[in-house]
Amino acid sequence: MTRDTTVPVDGGPLAVAEHGPEDGTPVLAIHGITASSRTWAALARLLPDVRLIAPDLRGRARSSHLPGPFGLRRHAADLQRVLDALHLDEVVVVGHSMGAFVSALLGAAEPTRVRELVLVDGGLPLAPPPGVDLEQLLTRSPAALLGPAFERLTTVFPSRAAYRAFWQAHPAFARDWSEEIARYADYDLEPAEQGFTPSANPEAVATDQRELFGPDWYRAALRQVRQPTTVLRAALGLQAEPPGLYPPGALEAGTALVPQLAVIEVPQVNHYTIVMTSPGADRVADVVRGAIERP
């Protein structure tokens, strides 16, 4: 059963979902750039004895009302408030996609409270698209920066069923659809005139995405990460296409920033199914379980 609560942060309440026993080992789970706390339903099911704490990040889902400024550092500051409010002295942190970047910042800022980091298909600076440099990315409009994702975030869907159908036809889920994913889609929606819209704030998403390409301050923070850190790479990308968000070998280069980084390749999963379905979620659960049990 999911326990939904809120934590006060700058600008209002941040929505937080909890799974598992309240006296279980706490694991903070941080979702991706257009996702929500419901990303972690499979992990919660696979780790029933763990207290899994999953916020809706600022500008997403039940936290979509929270104002800017946005950005990775703002998310990390919000999560420090979560640790404070829930009196968490030591946690394992698992983050997916953009959430892995936020996880790394939190680990650098909280070297004693964050005991280990599990980064899922994210956390290491992305390479800009061919022919585009970092300065160009910083000046792009949200529509140009996000492409099809921006179109989805600004679309009015006539019904919940229509939004489910959109995701069910998506290449990432076409072979892995389940009621768990359907509930994830339902949670993402907010009522709008003539239907429903996805809850993620496009401005928040665009601001956050600009910071995923490794500005100097982010690389400096990575160099401050001292915790054991594991990154899992999905073999396939956002559209279930090879080679994935990170090409083979790209993550190994991250040891220049995080020398203790361990890389795990996860075959036959894409950027979404690495956390939301088996066998990807099973592999993530194994790594999180190992981090919990490590002395």
pLDDT tens-digit readout, 78-112: 999 999 999 999 999 999 999 999 999 999 999 99
Enclosing H/E stretch for 104: helix 98-109
- The answer to whether residue 231 sits within a structural domain is yes
Query: E strands, 20-166, where?
Result: 25-30, 50-55, 91-96, 114-120
pLDDT, tens only, 14-66: 999 999 999 999 999 999 999 999 999 999 999 999 999 999 999 999 999 99
- The answer to whether residue 187 sits within a structural domain is no
Q: What is the pLDDT of residue 145?
A: 60
Beta bridge partners of 229: 117, 261
- The answer to whether residue 92 sits within a structural domain is yes
- The answer to whether residue 177 sits within a structural domain is no
- In the chain, what percentage of residues exceed pLDDT 90? 90
Question: What is the sign, positive or negative, of the torsion defined by CA atoms of 11, 202, 129, 122?
Answer: positive
Six token digits for residue 261: 């980084």
- The answer to whether residue 160 sits within a structural domain is no
- The answer to whether residue 167 sits within a structural domain is no
What average pLDDT is seen over the chain? 95
- The answer to whether residue 170 sits within a structural domain is no
With bands split at pLDDT 50, 70 and 90, how would you rate the model's confidence at 144? low
Q: Give the mean model confidence (pLDDT) for residues 67-73.
A: 97
Q: Give the mean model confidence (pLDDT) for residues 213-231.
A: 97
Enclosing H/E stretch for 9: strand 3-9
Q: Give the mean model confidence (pLDDT) for residues 166-171.
A: 95
Count the helix, strand and coil residues of the chain and give each as a percent rounded to the nearest 5.
Answer: 40, 20, 40
Which residues span the domain enclosing 32?
Answer: 3-154+203-293
Q: What is the pLDDT of residue 139?
A: 73
Q: What is the pLDDT of residue 133?
A: 74
User: Residue 216 CA to chain centroid, in angstroms?
Assistant: 21
Q: What is the pLDDT of residue 142?
A: 67
Q: Which of 7-16, 134-143, 156-165, 247-256 has the lowest mean pLDDT?
A: 134-143
Question: What is the sign, positive or negative, of the torsion defined by CA atoms of 54, 60, 62, 64?
Answer: positive
Q: What is the pLDDT of residue 94?
A: 99
pLDDT, tens only, 223-238: 999 999 999 999 999 9
Domain at 71, CATH number: 3.40.50.1820
Cα–Cα distance measured from residue 117 to residue 124, given in angstroms and rounded to the nearest whole number: 13
Q: Give the mean model confidence (pLDDT) for residues 200-224.
A: 94
Report the number of distinct structural domains present in the chain: 1
- The answer to whether residue 185 sits within a structural domain is no
